[in-house]
Amino acid sequence: TKGVVTLDPGYKNTGACESAITFLDGEKGVLRYRGYAIEELAEKAHFLEVCYLLIFGELPTEQQLSKFHTDIKAQSHVDEDVKRILDGFPKAAHPMGVLSSLTSALVAFNPSSVNVDSEEDMYKAIVKILGKFPVLTAWTYRKRMGLPLDYGGDSLGYVDNFLKMMFKKPSGEYTTNETVLEALDKLLILHADHEQNCSTSTVRIVGSSHAGLFVSISAGIAALWGPLHGGANQAVIEMLEAIKEDGGDTKKFMAKAKDKDDPFRLMGFGHRVYKNFDPRAKIIKKAADDLLDNLGIDDDVLDIAKALEKEALEDPYFVERKLYPNVDFYSGIIYRALGIPVEMFTPMFALGRLPGWIAQWREMRLNKEPIGRPRQIYIGETHREFLPVEKR
């Protein structure tokens, strides 16, 4: 601490705001959305219900949920010109970069949603982004696969509609698979919010300048892309595949992860807040086991993941540093089983985190939080006079 400023790189010990949305206890591995335990919500709730709970603070009645879904469906069309923007991207463009751009582009097609102040206008912007983001995500995937960009159908549930937009055959044929639907619904719930993580803090600070909801979400997508954050779910599968290619010698990769001179880290391990276990990882690990059994899939990459977890739990380096599997360690196993390609894993995280970002942005605006503007400790040059170039 020097003068009035306390240096806190990574904000490890800084509370940026007061919030009533999500409670984490890192020591006890507790995660609650608006007071409800994640274990119960993952088991008993549907994703759209959890979206409503996070954003408005209460579990919705049947009619509140029905109106919410109707309002979202009414806003689920995306201007045809957005397809031209999407067409401009190379097929191999990473979907997170595409999605961050398309989400910002939505502002151009929805100017009334830029700078909103009233709760009513916030609601309109919220149902727009909840309606349009699943379409953008599905279209980004379809573009990569060279498939037609289309909509699902008004009669479907929120997650089912998304799956149909993703996987409907060119002939239009699509059959809902309850096992897949249930697994994805649970996964999205488990990703829905996580208090002031990197991408949520990004949404709040961009939103604090009153730049508007869509670009705040676009900034959150960009932050989530990083392999230290949401991008880890893609990096985990790539790591597990590399271990498999290399002959499955997990001990060799554990040694690399501990070697300070080796940049390799065990992706999907460690967490800034959870210092015993990530409650989401426990649920996802079981859901992965159940789904693979149900679908009759034998994924040897899951076996490698379990071997790594077992070794890490017994390795002093990991135990001392309290490094355990986090939300990203097993989620990719489920996405793979659902037929989702690895580049779409982090967009799936974004789809799940969208209600959390929205809830946190809304709370920040309704609380009339000041613009985010941290200070620094200056360590540069003291005052010096300008020298003309001939004298330098």
What minimum distance in Å lies between the beta carbon of 204 and ligand SDX?
13
Q: Which of 46, 191, 271, 278 is catalytic?
A: 271
User: What's the Rg (C-alpha) of the chain?
Assistant: 22
Structure tokens at 382: 């003291």
Structure tokens at 72: 């979202």
Q: Which of 160, 193, 278, 328 is catalytic?
A: 328
Instruction: Tell me which residue of 274, 380, 385, 251 sits closest to 323, measured CA to CA.
Output: 274
What minimum distance in Å lies between the beta carbon of 54 and ligand SDX?
13
H/E segment holding residue 33: strand 30-33
Residue (150 or 238) nearer to ligand SDX, CB: 238
Site for ligand SDX contains 189 (CB under 6 A): no
**Do 225 and 97 contact (CB within 8 A), yes or no?**
yes
Instruction: Tell me which residue of 186, 157, 151 sits closest to 39, measured CA to CA.
Output: 186
**Do 98 and 140 contact (CB within 8 A), yes or no?**
yes
Site for ligand SDX contains 323 (CB under 6 A): yes
The question of whether 194 is a catalytic residue gets the answer no
- Binding residue for ligand SDX, selected from 257, 281, 283, 287, defined by CB under 6 A: 257
Residues 74-103 that bind ligand SDX (CB under 6 A): none
Site for ligand SDX contains 266 (CB under 6 A): yes
Site for ligand SDX contains 204 (CB under 6 A): no
Structure tokens at 373: 């503007």
Site for ligand SDX contains 328 (CB under 6 A): yes
Residue (47 or 68) nearer to ligand SDX, CB: 47
The question of whether 271 is a catalytic residue gets the answer yes
Site for ligand SDX contains 272 (CB under 6 A): yes
Q: Please tell me whether residue 209 adopts helix, strand or coil conformation.
A: coil
Structure tokens at 173: 């044929």
Q: How far apart are CA 71 and CA 69, in angstroms?
A: 5
Query: Which listed range, 1-9, 155-163, 292-300, 323-331, lies at the site for ligand SDX (CB under 6 A)?
Result: 323-331
Spatial CB neighbours of 11, under 8 Å, sequence gap ≥ 6: 196, 201
Residues 23-62: x/- map of binding to ligand SDX (CB under 6 A)? ----------------------------------------
Q: Please tell me whether residue 269 adopts helix, strand or coil conformation.
A: strand
Applying CB under 6 A, the residues found at the interface with ligand SDX are 10, 194, 197, 228-230, 232, 257, 265-273, 321, 323, 326-328
Catalytic site positions: 271, 328
